[in-house]
Amino acid sequence: SQTIHQWPATLVQPVGSPLSLECTVEGTSNPNLYWYRQAAGRGLQLLFYSVGIGQISSEVPQNLSASRPQDRQFILSSKKLLLSDSGFYLCAWRQGASPLHFGNGTRLTVT
């Protein structure tokens, strides 16, 4: 069966520090991969998605970037975090017309 792993679960980082959140999927090949940010009262905002290795689509211009170095690995990064980057980040995968499957999320607090 397919599983999705996302880490870390929580992260506290100072302003200006770099960020790297990692997500891996097991049990499937060539999935579509997604990074969402969830904010209270604002639902889920799609940040990036990828349909293949090295293919990244950005939905919202901001201080973040994403990379897909391997088929089942999706990384969310920042060179210098801002206070406004605080939030709850969710990785998800999907294949074909299947529903999205979400990871457990990462609570990022930028201080």
How would you list the strands of the sheet with 65-70, edge to edge?
A: 3-7, 19-26, 73-78, 65-70
Which residue number, 14 or 61, has a Cβ lying nearer to another protein?
Answer: 61
Which residue number, 16 or 27, has a Cβ lying nearer to another protein?
Answer: 27
> Per 3-state DSSP, what percentage of the chain is helix, strand, and coil (rounded to 5)?
5, 60, 40
CB of 21 to another protein, least distance (A): 15
Residues found near another protein in the complex (CB under 8 A)? 32, 34, 36, 41-44, 46, 49, 51, 59, 90, 94, 97, 99-105
Which residue number, 43 or 61, has a Cβ lying nearer to another protein?
Answer: 43
Handedness of CA 4, 68, 63, 44 (dihedral sign): negative
CB of 63 to another protein, least distance (A): 21
CB of 51 to another protein, least distance (A): 6
Which residue number, 2 or 17, has a Cβ lying nearer to another protein?
Answer: 2
- How big is the chain, counted in residues? 111
Report the C-alpha gap between 8 and 18 in whole angstroms: 14
